[in-house]
Structure 1
Amino acid sequence: MPAFNNERPDPDALLARVQLEEQAALRGKLRIYFGSNAGVGKTCAMLAAAQREVALGRDVLAGVVETHGRAETAALLDGLEQLPRAALLHRDFALSEFDLDAALHRRPAVVLVDELAHSNVPGSRHPKRWQDVEELLSAGIDVWTSLNVQHLESLNDLVSEIIGIRVRETVPDHVFDNAHEVVVIDLPPDDLLQRLKDGKVYLGPHAERASKHFFRKGNLLALRELTLRRTADRVDTQMRVYRREQSIKALWPARERLLVGVAGDAGDERLVREAARLAQKLEADWIVVHVASAQGRGAKRYLSAMKTLTLASEFGADTATLPGMDVADALVACAREHNANRLVLGHHPRQAWRFWHQSVSDRISRHHPQIDQIVIAHGAVPGPAPVIEKPTPAPGRALAYLWATLACFAASAIAALLLQVFDLANVVMLFLLTVVLVALRYGRGPGVWAAMLAVLCFDFFFVQPRYSFTVTDTQYFFTFALMLGIALITGQLTARLRHEARTAAARERRATSLARLARDLSAALTVEQISEVALRTFSGVFEARVGLALPDAADGVHSVGAGGLPIDESIAQWTYDHGRAAGHGTDTLSAAKGCYLPLKAPMRVRGVLVLELAQSERLSDPQERRLLEACMSQLAIALERVHFVEVAQSTLVQMEGEKMRNTLLAAISHDLRTPLTTLIGAADTALPHAPPGPLTELLHGIHEQATSMQRLIETCWTWRACRSAACA
Structure 2
Amino acid sequence: MKQIIKHRGILTVFLGAAPGVGKTYTMLEAAHQRLNEGYDVAVAWVETHGMPETERLLEGLPQLPARFGNLQGKISPEMDIDVILKRKPKLVLVDELAHANIPGSRHVRRFQDVEELLTAGINVYTTLNIQHIESLNDIVAQITGVIVKETVPDRILEKADSVQLIDIPPEELLKRLKEGKVYVPPQTEQAMRKFFRTGNINALREMSLRFTASRVDKDMSEYMHEHKIEGPWPAAGRVMVCVSASPFSAQLIRAAHRLASGIQAELVAVHIETPARRFPLGDRERDRVTRNMRLAEDLGAKPLTIVGENLVQEIIEVACVQNVSAIVIGKPQHSRLWELWHGSLVDKLIRNSDGINIYVIRGAAEQDPDTCIRTTPKEEGFNWSQYIGGLTMTILATLFSLFFEEKMGLLNIALLYQLPVIMSAFWWGRWPSYFTALCGLAAFDFLFVPPTWTFTVADIQYLWSFIIFLIMAFVIGGRTELLRSEAASARQRERSTRALYQFSREIAGIIDLELISQELVKQAAETVGRSVVVMLPDNSGQLSIRAESYSGIARNKKTPQKTIEMAAADWSFKHGQLAGRSTDTLSDAMYLYIPLKTTDNIVGVLGVHVKERNVLPEEKRLIDAWTGLAAIAVERVKLAEQARGASLLLESDRLRTALFNSISHELRTPLSSIIGSVSTLVEAEDMYSKAARRELLETIQDGAARMERIVANLLDTARLESGMMQLKIDWCDIEDIIGTSLNRLRETTKRYALTVNVAPALPMLKADCVLLEQVLINIIDNAMKYSPHDSEILIRAEPKDGTVVISVSDNGVGIPEEDLSKVFDKFYRIQQPKHVSGTGLGLSICKGIIEAHGGLIWAERRPSRGTTIRFQVPVVEEVVIPERMVK
Q: Indicate the TM-score class for this superposition, using the shorter chain for normalisation.
A: 0.5 to 0.7
SS of the residue 2:531 aligns to = strand
> Residue 526 of structure 2 corresponds to which residue in structure 1?
540
Confirm or deny that 1:650 pairs with 2:645.
Answer: yes
Counterpart Cα distance in 2 of 1:287 and 1:325? 19
SS of the residue 1:606 aligns to = strand
Counterpart Cα distance in 2 of 1:382 and 1:359? 28
> Residue 221 of structure 1 corresponds to which residue in structure 2?
224
Q: In structure 1, which of residues 532, 539, 561 is the aligned counterpart of residue 547 of structure 2?
A: 561
Name which of structure 1's ranges 533-542 and 490-499 shifts more when overlaid on structure 2. Answer: 490-499
SS of the residue 1:523 aligns to = coil
Confirm or deny that 1:404 pairs with 2:390.
Answer: yes
Quick check: 1:535–1:548 contact (8 Å CA) kept in 2? yes
Deviation at 1:544, TM superposition (A): 1.7
Q: In structure 2, which of residues 285, 289, 302 is the aligned counterpart of residue 318 of structure 1?
A: 302
> Residue 466 of structure 1 corresponds to which residue in structure 2?
452
Deviation at 1:499, TM superposition (A): 4.5
> Residue 595 of structure 1 corresponds to which residue in structure 2?
592
SS of the residue 2:239 aligns to = strand
Confirm or deny that 1:273 pairs with 2:257.
Answer: no
SS of the residue 2:508 aligns to = helix
1:439-461 deviation line (CA, Å, top 9, x unaligned): 44444443344333322322222
Q: In structure 1, which of residues 265, 285, 288 is the aligned counterpart of residue 270 of structure 2?
A: 288
Distance 1:372 1:507, change over 3 A: farther
Distance 1:367 1:500, change over 3 A: farther
Distance 1:542 1:327, change over 3 A: same
Counterpart Cα distance in 2 of 1:498 and 1:228? 58
Distance 1:416 1:381, change over 3 A: farther
Quick check: 2:522–2:549 contact (8 Å CA) kept in 1? no
Distance 1:469 1:526, change over 3 A: same
Distance 1:228 1:483, change over 3 A: farther
Confirm or deny that 1:338 pairs with 2:319.
Answer: no
Quick check: 2:425–2:478 contact (8 Å CA) kept in 1? no
Deviation at 1:360, TM superposition (A): 5.0
1:499-521 deviation line (CA, Å, top 9, x unaligned): 54244334323321221111122
> Residue 878 of structure 2 corresponds to which residue in structure 1?
none
Total equivalences in the alignment: 452
Distance 1:221 1:369, change over 3 A: closer
Counterpart Cα distance in 2 of 1:359 and 1:320? 26
Distance 1:652 1:335, change over 3 A: closer
> Residue 682 of structure 1 corresponds to which residue in structure 2?
677
Q: In structure 1, which of residues 306, 313, 334 is the aligned counterpart of residue 290 of structure 2?
A: 306
**Amino acid in the other structure paired with 1:601:** T
Confirm or deny that 1:378 pairs with 2:359.
Answer: no
Distance 1:449 1:224, change over 3 A: farther
> Residue 493 of structure 2 corresponds to which residue in structure 1?
507
| More helix by percentage | 1
Quick check: 1:544–1:614 contact (8 Å CA) kept in 2? no
SS of the residue 1:561 aligns to = strand
Confirm or deny that 1:262 pairs with 2:243.
Answer: yes
Q: In structure 2, which of residues 507, 513, 518 is the aligned counterpart of residue 521 of structure 1?
A: 507
Distance 1:402 1:274, change over 3 A: farther
> Residue 605 of structure 2 corresponds to which residue in structure 1?
608
1:211-254 deviation line (CA, Å, top 9, x unaligned): xxxxxx9987344679999xx9xxxxxxxxxxxxxxxxxxxx98
Name which of structure 1's ranges 634-643 and 395-404 shifts more when overlaid on structure 2. Answer: 395-404
SS of the residue 1:483 aligns to = helix
**Amino acid in the other structure paired with 2:642:** V
Quick check: 1:262–1:346 contact (8 Å CA) kept in 2? no
**Amino acid in the other structure paired with 1:605:** I
Quick check: 2:580–2:588 contact (8 Å CA) kept in 1? yes
Show the 5 A alignment for 1:161-240: 221-223=224-226
Distance 1:291 1:226, change over 3 A: farther
Deviation at 1:606, TM superposition (A): 0.7
> Residue 576 of structure 2 corresponds to which residue in structure 1?
579
> Residue 666 of structure 1 corresponds to which residue in structure 2?
661
CA RMSD for the aligned pairs?
4.1
1:327-359 deviation line (CA, Å, top 9, x unaligned): 334333433443434332223533588575556
Q: TM-score, normalised to structure 2's length? A: 0.46
1:541-572 deviation line (CA, Å, top 9, x unaligned): 11122222212233222222366743443332
Unaligned regions of 5+ residues in structure 2, if any? 1-219, 369-375, 551-558, 688-695, 711-887
Q: In structure 1, which of residues 342, 347, 354 is the aligned counterpart of residue 331 of structure 2?
A: 347
**Amino acid in the other structure paired with 2:241:** V
> Residue 847 of structure 2 corresponds to which residue in structure 1?
none
Counterpart Cα distance in 2 of 1:609 and 1:417? 64
Counterpart Cα distance in 2 of 1:658 and 1:447? 78
Name which of structure 1's ranges 657-666 and 462-471 shifts more when overlaid on structure 2. Answer: 657-666
Deviation at 1:604, TM superposition (A): 0.9
Deviation at 1:527, TM superposition (A): 1.2
Quick check: 2:290–2:616 contact (8 Å CA) kept in 1? yes
Confirm or deny that 1:297 pairs with 2:293.
Answer: no
**Amino acid in the other structure paired with 1:675:** P
Counterpart Cα distance in 1 of 2:527 and 2:675? 79
SS of the residue 2:312 aligns to = helix
1:84-132 deviation line (CA, Å, top 9, x unaligned): xxxxxxxxxxxxxxxxxxxxxxxxxxxxxxxxxxxxxxxxxxxxxxxxx
SS of the residue 1:423 aligns to = helix
Q: TM-score, normalised to structure 1's length? A: 0.55
**Amino acid in the other structure paired with 1:413:** L
> Residue 772 of structure 2 corresponds to which residue in structure 1?
none
Counterpart Cα distance in 2 of 1:537 and 1:670? 60
Counterpart Cα distance in 2 of 1:260 and 1:369? 14
Quick check: 1:459–1:466 contact (8 Å CA) kept in 2? yes
Distance 1:651 1:473, change over 3 A: same
